[in-house]
A and B are shown apart, each in its own frame.
Chain A
Amino acid sequence: MSMKISTSDFKERVDKGIHDSFMRGAVVGAQERMGTRRLDATNELGNWEEWRKHGEEIRKHVLEHLDYYLKELSDNVSKRGGHVFFAQTAEQANEYIRGVIKEKNAKKVVKAKSMVTEEIHLNQCLEEAGCEVIETDLGEYILQVDDHDPPSHIVVPALHKNKEQIRDVFTEKLNYQKTEKPEELAWHARDMLRQEYLTADVGITGCNFAVAETGSISLVTNEGNADLVTSLPKTQITVMGMERLVPTFEEMEVLVSLLTRSAVGQKLTSYITVLTGPSEELDVDGPEDFHLVIVDNGRSSILGGEFQSILQCIRCAACINVCPVYRHVGGHSYGSIYSGPIGAVLSPLLGGYDDYKELPYASTLCGACTEVCPVKIPLHELLHKHRQTIVEKEGKAPISEKLAMKAFGLGAASPSLYNLGSKFAPTAMLPFTSGDKISKGVGPLKAWTEIREFPAPNKERFRDWFKNRDKGGDQS
């Protein structure tokens, strides 16, 4: 499955994650800062709950009428002169895009950050076709220069790297001569990329929300790269997951507000760009040709089922930023471009249980994710559902999963590990213990303990547990 970022198994990835001390420090710091910023930005509104409810009702409505709105969207894109391609699979999407690139005889593509193109492995496909593909988002650019290091966070892809590492990569690959100061590094990237925008044949973007009524797409960014990607090359290709749309500008506005506050704690990011069709005939900048590629790639099998609500996701990463397990093991441990709670729910659905069956256990079921999700996806319930499905399917939870269960269970229950967890996680569900098993949880934990006795808290930390289990210890 192409969204895979690693061939090593779950245990190796987790091991690597918890032994990378910079990464872990960075993740902790990032969670603190992003958590605080998000809280400030949401509290400031005074009625955040109302906003979440509106976000939820919009997303639910769209999913329930997805066929109607996709039809409306595609009609309106084409009315404005854009081309729409519906791709049921990643292969179909890649093939279409490669076709456009060939037709334009394009040699150089500049890209703005897009998770769905990562999901379908578009870059690789275009590179194989002999095209140079340049990521322009600063974080993505850093990863690309570093021999395609995979992203570890859906909003801040290079979160696992420190500035010294980035300096070393730039020095080695880009002949960079300056220091590790973030400004100097960023400016170097700016200089390098300016020429690329001006000489690229095609610009490729993702899409935060498409607007059905007008056939528009919107891009939410801070750096300004997406604007250069969509105004300088003569051809623009936008790739969107089929669920990423809204009826009109009015709902787009609400979701953008939810997204920017939840993702980065900003009222709005520096750039929100709403593009409709190719540029007008006499416009000098903007693309002459516009293609919208709408991707299913497994989403329609989620639709209509018990996991439908995961398609409400607006990719804000708030759930990742509060997750105590993500904090502990880092993004790469998930083995998928989608990490954290959203990844633990979505990756098994898009990529299959074979590759991702451990992920639903990569959770303490503490419910912090559900509490912060701006569109009210019941994330921890969906994780629980996954576990039930896996057990049903396999007859039992394979031993490693039992262990993972326990590992992450301890995460929620053990005070030492819990303290490592996010301070933004709700504390109301710290478990009650009787003997060495928890018999009764409160809040979200309750549903879980009703089904299965929960391991009691002890001083053992997840890190130690993980070491321990290798030696054959603690396999209950």
Chain B
Amino acid sequence: MTGSIQNRDEFLTQIATSLGRDSWMKNAPVRNWQHQPQHLVLKDATVDELVDVLRLQCEKIHTTLVETNSKELEKTLKETVANHGGGPIVSWKDERFSKWGLSPLINEIWPNEGISFHEWDYTKEMENISFAEKANVGITISEITLAESGTVVLLSDKDKGRTVSFLPATLIVLVPKSTLVPRMTQAAQKLRSIHEQGNLVASCVNFITGPSNSADIELNLVVGVHGPVKASYILIDDL
């Protein structure tokens, strides 16, 4: 479905006039940047070095970083959820959960412990949001992870509700080590290449760096405002 565009001609003509052109510019301008400092940051860092940077940064952004491997993931996730006060839990629907051996935890262990778990299911429409609103923990997966800033990148789709990362009190993000890049520069390149290859960029891309916070009252940092109050990243050694 294509949307509408209104009032464009007059508007652009006005701009063209201000810029001293007879009519608005039709050909793509050439971009020839003279300065490109962003590519130098952590340029030759190894994965281990990126992990070191991430670890340090997580301390600054009030986020716990738990390091584990695919084998131990089930145990680590169970503990992390427990440390944050348990369920209810809402998570994305993603085949990686079972690939990483989390099915027993999700389908048996948690239910047996009375922890309610809701997997995002678009056919249930608003039920998802009602559940997320009451959930204590939301679980999502980082597609790209920025070492410099300690940022996880989440891409929305029908199985990956945006509000899973915003409504629950705690956000737990599973971070495959293979997703680590130096900084936002590489994420921007990746997103751009998705577009250039003719695919649609997710309608919502969230760059999330720790829990929500505000300094609006006398510049005092308050952690946990409208979004999650606590955040944990679980770094999975998948390399």
Contact = CB atoms under 8 A, between A and B. Distances in A.
Contacts of B156: 279-280, 283, 286
A284 B216 contact: no
B222 A186 contact: yes
Given A96-B6, A227-B227, A273-B205, 10 more contacts: A54-B33, A183-B222, A190-B225, A227-B165, A257-B183, A269-B209, A274-B205, A276-B201, A283-B203, A304-B18
9 contacts: A67-B16, A214-B195, A250-B192, A257-B184, A270-B61, A279-B203, A284-B129, A290-B3, A304-B18
A270 B126 contact: no
Contacts of B103: none
A193 B136 CA distance: 18
Given A138-B217, A193-B226, A71 B195 contact: no
Nearest to A67: B24
B165 to A, nearest CB: 8
A47 B12 CA distance: 37
Ranked nearest first, the 4 interchain pairs of A and B with the lowest CB-CB distance are A224-B227, A139-B216, A86-B11, A224-B212
B185 interface: yes
Contacts, number: 314
B239 interface: no
**Size bracket of the A interface:** 35 or more
Interface of B: 1-8, 10-12, 14-21, 24-29, 31, 33-38, 40-41, 57, 61, 120, 122, 125-126, 128-129, 133, 146, 148-151, 156-158, 161-163, 165-167, 183-185, 187-189, 191-192, 195, 200-220, 222, 224-228
Interface in A19-46: 26, 29-30, 33-34, 45
A274 B204 contact: yes
A67 B21 contact: yes
A187 B212 CA distance: 12
A135 to B, nearest CB: 11
A290 B29 CA distance: 28
A156 B215 contact: yes
Nearest to B205: A274
Tell me if B's interface is mostly helix, strand, loop or mixed.
Answer: loop
Interface in A268-326: 268-286, 290, 294, 296, 300-301, 303-305
Contact of B4 (A30, A83, A264): A83
A294 B8 CA distance: 10
A84 B8 contact: yes
A239 B71 CA distance: 48
Contacts of B157: 280, 283
Given A88-B14, A182-B220, A272-B207, A282 B166 contact: no
Interface stretch (A73-81, A360-368, A418-426, A446-454): A73-81
Nearest to B10: A88
Contacts of A70: 11-12, 15
A163 B216 CA distance: 10
Q: Which of B6, B20, B61, B158 has the most CB of A within 10 A?
A: B6
A157 B227 contact: no
Contacts of A228: 163, 166-167, 226-227
Given A71-B8, A223-B212, A267 B57 contact: yes
Contacts of A190: 224-226
